[in-house]
Amino acid sequence: MQEYLAEAYRLAYYQKDNPYISTSDLAEVLHVSAPAVTRMVQRLKAAGYLEHEPYKGIYLTPEGEREALLSIRRHRLVERFLVDVMKFGWHEVHDDADELGAVVGDDVVARMEQMAGFPRRCPHGEPIPTADGHMPRVIDEPLSHLTPGAEVVVSRVATHDADKLEYLGTMGLIPGTRLKLIERAPFNGPLQLEVSGARIVIGHELAGVLLVCAEADFELA
């Protein structure tokens, strides 16, 4: 139930002004069947965590949002602890954080937060909700949408694929990294970047998972 609520919140969060999500979108991100989503939605509705409006979709109730934010907070702080304190690679921690986040208590999470230095973002750049339920708003866009000459900071990396994360890490393309888009080939061709004084080239598809922002927008309000 926590996983469904967390994913429902994430989908709605990045739609900004639209709180409604479809069950098909939820099934896609969770990699489950439509009937499985329907059954869980019925359970969550009976528990008071979400509502359904015909022709619009489902949306979280205030109680559902609260539970979702607590789940997301635990997950992202556990990821941060595993990377910063236990020195796992950022490509290794997503699944373990799912398992640990479902069972650790608030006191343990608070200690993890302290030991990790009170981070504002997870290792992949996603914002960490505060203990009182505030989710910071991020302002970013895919690197693949930019025009040459743009100077930006990596905000988020929108993939859980371990191989892609490891590859991006070897090039230094992690949240907080400054870069300049030098050139982009036409017809969705590769992009040439300048990162820490070095020139690197990445494909258009991979550039699409790199969300970037102005330097002033990287620090979350």
pLDDT at residue 55 in the model: 85
pLDDT tens string 181-210 = 999 999 999 999 999 999 999 999 999 999
Looking at the chain, the whole-number percentage of residues with pLDDT higher than 70 is 100
Q: Is the pLDDT of residue 16 over 90?
A: no
CATH 2.30.30.90 intervals, the chain = 141-218
pTM above 0.95?
no
Q: Cβ atoms within 10 A of the Cβ of 13, count?
A: 18
Instruction: Determine whether domain 67-136 maps to CATH 3.40.50.1980.
Output: no
Residues in the chain: 221
pLDDT digits (tens, 9 = 90+) for 78-92: 999 999 999 999 999
Q: Report whether pLDDT(221) > 70.
A: no
Lookup: tokens for 46? 């009976």
CATH 1.10.10.10 fits 2-60, yes or no: yes
Share of the chain above pLDDT 90, in %: 84
Range(s) within the chain of domains with CATH label 1.10.10.10: 2-60, 67-136
Query: Residue 157 and residue 207: Cα distance in Å, rounded?
Result: 10
Question: Quick one: pLDDT at residue 54?
Answer: 85
Q: Domain 141-218 is classified in which CATH homologous superfamily?
A: Ferrous iron transport protein A (FeoA) (2.30.30.90)
